[in-house]
């Protein structure tokens, strides 16, 4: 009798352990799910003023959670769930570097939104190039373990580039194994490090061996605040621009409507593609949006040839909208002016 009870107790313990493992054990996979639609009015201020026009612009998000055996199994049977590997999500970055890059993308998105909105509102600003933002360092780079993700390179030798193109051109004019001195900022402190250039390809050329992006700043007389500490990524550019433009100009484009959307914004006003738009459609529909702006940027022909089933953001958004039978009007936009024109003409 005692042995039987012991066997039952052991079975219960084993079962409990297996259940805990299935629920708690993190695996190197992530699950993308529909996130939220956030009222941008809560995040943007100009001289401590907010947009007082009726209606709302919504910033749509994708939620990402670490996969466990149970959640991964469930995700295979639930709609609008996508399982991605850690490598697909982060590349070679660790968690900390991934967060840094995500924050840089958000900061850059806000910065470009400022520039475009101030241009549209015909307001003055100054544009400053602060340096080259280090997105990653190759393992065979002479500067591996010296430069790091988040560093801002502002000078090479005695040359101070005013764009990433000038930075690249300066390096291209040199030879492999040439010694260079990199001046950079990290956490507000200036540093420098020296080392030889390596051979990069294709095409074959000398290089430092870093992934880079422009680090710029828009300075304005008005105090512009983005209260987005908990949000990352570049996809809020379009909607930030619309919200900021309304505050600056006083023009009421949305006319009481609930307007959601997504897309990066470039300094010329072009709207770029993003990931997870099907999940953002679900989030916007749940929030009660009546309009959704979707990037219509065409797919590169070579990429389309390799992946013939690849859809544009707009096509993917339309497919998701049909699947959930949304009443939202899904509107394709390639630039900020198209979004503004639609709002004006559809009042």
- Of these residues, 235, 270, 279, 296, which one is catalytic? 235
Q: Which residues have a Cβ under 8 Å from the Cβ of 311 and sit 6 or more positions away?
A: 299, 319
Q: Which residues have a Cβ under 8 Å from the Cβ of 212 and sit 6 or more positions away?
A: 132, 133, 134, 135, 153, 164, 167
The helix, strand and coil proportions of the chain, stated in percent and rounded to the nearest 5, come to 35, 30, 35
- Of these residues, 270, 279, 280, 318, which one is catalytic? 280
Please say if 221 is a catalytic residue: no
Q: DSSP for 276-333, please give it.
A: -HHHHHHHHHHHT-SEEEEE-PPPPHHHHHH-TT---HHHHHHHHHHHHT--SEEEEE
CB of 133 closer than 8 Å to CB of 213 = yes
Residue 292's alpha-carbon distances to 140, 219, 263, 285, in angstroms, are 45, 31, 11, 9
Helices 336-345 and 95-120 pack at an angle, to 10 degrees, of: 60
Q: Taking the CA atoms of 153, 156, 161 and 166 in sequence, report the sign of the dihedral they define.
A: negative
CB of 298 closer than 8 Å to CB of 265 = no
Please say if 142 is a catalytic residue: no
10 Å Cβ neighbour count for 229? 9
Catalytic residues: 235, 280
């Amino acid at each position: 009798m005692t042995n039987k009870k012991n066997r039952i107790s052991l079975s219960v313990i084993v079962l409990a352990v297996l259940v805990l493992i299935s629920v708690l054990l993190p695996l190197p996979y992530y699950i993308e799910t529909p996130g939220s639609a956030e009222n941008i009015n809560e995040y943007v201020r100009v001289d401590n003023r907010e947009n007082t026009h009726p209606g709302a612009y919504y910033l749509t998000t994708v939620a990402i959670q670490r996969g466990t055996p149970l959640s991964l199994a469930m995700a295979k049977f639930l709609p609008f769930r996508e399982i991605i590997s850690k490598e697909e999500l982060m590349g070679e970055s660790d968690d900390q570097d991934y967060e840094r890059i995500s924050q840089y993308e958000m900061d850059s998105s806000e910065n470009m939104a400022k520039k475009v909105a101030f241009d549209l509102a015909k307001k003055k600003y100054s544009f400053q190039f602060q340096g080259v933002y280090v997105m990653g360092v190759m393992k065979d780079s002479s500067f591996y373990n010296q430069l790091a993700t988040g560093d801002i390179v502002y000078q090479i030798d005695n040359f101070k580039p005013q764009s990433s193109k000038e930075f690249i051109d300066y390096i291209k004019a040199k030879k492999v194994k040439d010694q260079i001195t990199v001046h950079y900022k990290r956490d507000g402190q200036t540093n420098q490090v020296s080392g030889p250039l390596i051979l990069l390809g294709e095409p074959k050329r000398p290089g430092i061996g870093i992934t880079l992006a422009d680090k710029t700043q828009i300075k304005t007389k008005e105090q512009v605040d983005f209260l987005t500490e908990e949000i990352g990524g570049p996809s809020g550019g379009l909607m930030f621009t619309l919200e900021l433009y309304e505050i600056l100009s006083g023009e009421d484009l949305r006319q009481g409507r609930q307007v959601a959307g997504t897309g990066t914004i470039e300094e010329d006003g072009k709207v770029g593609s993003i990931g997870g738009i099907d999940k953002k459609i679900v989030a916007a529909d749940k929030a009660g949006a009546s309009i959704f702006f979707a990037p219509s940027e065409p797919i590169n022909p070579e990429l389309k040839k390799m992946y013939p089933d690849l859809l544009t953001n707009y096509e993917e958004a339309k497919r998701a909208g049909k699947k959930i039978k949304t009443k939202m009007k899904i509107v394709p936009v390639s630039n900020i002016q198209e979004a503004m024109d639609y709002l004006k003409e559809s009042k």
